[in-house]
Every structure is written in C-alpha cells, then in structure tokens.
Structure 1
Amino acid sequence: AIEANSELSRALVTQIAAAKVEAVDFAIKSLALLRRDVGSFGLMASSPFGSNSDILLCCRFAEGDSRVLQQMVTRDLVRAHSKLSAVLRLFYRVLKAWLSGALHGSAKLRYLRDQRLLQLLCVLGKQHWKIRRQGVSKAQAESDAWLQAGELVYDVAKTHAQQLIHSTVEERCGRSVETDRFMD
C-alpha cells in the first residue's frame, strides 16, 4: 500500500509506466482486430466499436504521452548502465544468454531487452563521441545522440516493459500456458 505523502520508488514508477503504456497499446490493437473481424458492424457509431472506443486514444495521452513514459523508462535504464562496469556486466549477460541457446519466457525477454539496451548504449556512445569531437557541449551532445538513436529508444522501453510485466505476473501468479504465450 502507498501511504499519503510518501514518494514512489523508481521501480514502482517504472512498473506503472510499463503497465500504462502496454495495457493501452494492447487494448487499442485488440480493438482494431475486433473491428476488422466484425466487419461493417464495427463502423456503426452505436456499436461497441464505434466512437465510444476513442477513449482508448485519450488514455494513451492522459497523464503523460506514452512516448514520454517510454523515454523515461529507457533513460533510467541508460543511467543504470552509465558506468563501464555495468556495461561490461550487461555485455556478459547478453553473451552468456546467446551462447546458452534456446531461451523461453522471462529469460528470452531479458535477453531481448539486454541485447537492445546494449545496442542503444553503443549507438549513444558512438554518436556522443562523434558529436563531442565537433566541439559541441556535453549536454548538447547527449541530447543529439539521444535524438539520433530514434526508434531504438522506444524498442528498449517496449522490451523492458514486456519483460517487467511478464516477470511480475510469473512471480505473483506462477508460470502458465498464458505466460508462456505472452511473447508469441
């Protein structure tokens, strides 16, 4: 339970952001699939798939745009891996998972997240170094490198959110056919 006047931990903030982004995204995609399957009924304003469902789009932008939340999640991951020792541990985890072969469930999601995070860290480092050599300030170089990383920032956030949701559900409810199908 969260007490009044208490601050939320970064881990809880990340879990909330992951759930908000992924749940709304799932609902929007599911609605689009349902509309497709019900045919012209999905176009009728009075149907459950009509304009009343636009509330899902509002949810995507309420309390912070989903893209902003994804950038926050990725920023926190990048900060957690800002030291060389953390990057080396990440590289070791990716290499170990890759060498181990067939990955399933949380291990697969962790590997995908770590792989994309390592790729992002390499892109950010390379771009930062390239921009700094042009005499640009450190802060401006970091900002420019972040912008040049583009969709990779969001890929890292998505894989981290999926891994976080999957591991939390498995931890609380146990492994099941549904949790195994989560990534399919």
Structure 2
Amino acid sequence: MLLHRKSQKEGLTATLIKPGDFPDWEHEFLLQVDLLGLQQHLKRKIFLEEEPAFPDIRRRKYTKTTAAQRTIRSETPETEGTNSDDIQETTNGTWSLSDLTEQGQKSFQQDLSFHQLQEKSSERQRKSLRTLQDWIIRTVSPSYIRTCCQPRKSIYEWHYNLRARCGRSEADETRDARNTYLT
C-alpha cells in the first residue's frame, strides 16, 4: 500500500513497454528531469563532474611562516622558475595549518570552503542522476533497458536511444504537434 501511494505521489503512471507508450512516458520523463534539475543533461552528453580536488596545503600558493620556509630552503636546492603550485615537502613530510601565515591560512580556508561547496553540489548532482536512472529502470521494459540504456552512458544517450528505438524522431514530433494544433 505504501509503495502504491509513493508511486502516485511521484506520478509514476506511465511505463514504456511498447513504442506507442513513448509520448506519455517521455512527458513524465521530462517532468522528472525538470523536478531533479537535470535539464542540461538532456541538451548534450554530460557526465558526472570529476570529484573536486581537496586543497593541498603543500602547494606554494599558501604562504608559509618564515620558520617553515627556512626549513624548506635548507632541505631543497634552489631551482630557477619555480611554479607557484609546486609541492613543497618538509623533513617529516607533513604540513599543518600552523605552518601557514595568517594570509596563507585564510587562503587555505577559502579553498577548503569552496571545495566543500563543490563537493555538496557534486553529491546533489550524483543523487539526482541516480534518482532519474532508477526511475527510468523502474518504468522502462527490460528489453529496452538492455538495448538502450548502457552502463557508463549519459542520460542524453539513454533518452536518444529510447526515442530512436520507439521510432519517434523529431520530425514525427513536429508533425504530431502541427496536427494537434491544426485540428
């Protein structure tokens, strides 16, 4: 009973079993895409973003305290044209926040906050895509899933393949729309 109530709430009434089911199923699919905020995934092949890189305190761009810089200079030979993103190593191989100047700590904290925001955004996107993929798998016949929804393919490709398999082209949809509005 609870499952039935949940599916009504989500609007899971359309299933894609035969080509004639496609217009109703696609309508609900597009509603799900809008609800989950994944419109950009239907416009082109977009995959999940790479995991955001955690800010590395060993990078040169975080200003080190004088004592920490002296330790670094005494251990490594000076090289010309060092990159501001070069990794610096210490004697024991670790850096702590206290090795950074106040400005370096602020920069690191800003980068860390930005990283956390990116991570939350990335997780929300992953969850939305997982929800949409689960919805597709629940509402599409297994034979269509097997032939149209390949693992590691984008939602764009799944939708395109399902549309092609059901025999619906954009020309068909344009013709149907004209017929609907002309009658």
Task: Tell me the TM-score normalised to structure 1 length.
Answer: 0.30
In the superposition, the TM-score normalised over structure 2's length comes to 0.30
Larger radius of gyration: 2
User: Greater relative contact order: 1 or 2 (C-alpha under 8 angstroms, separation 6 or more)?
Assistant: 2
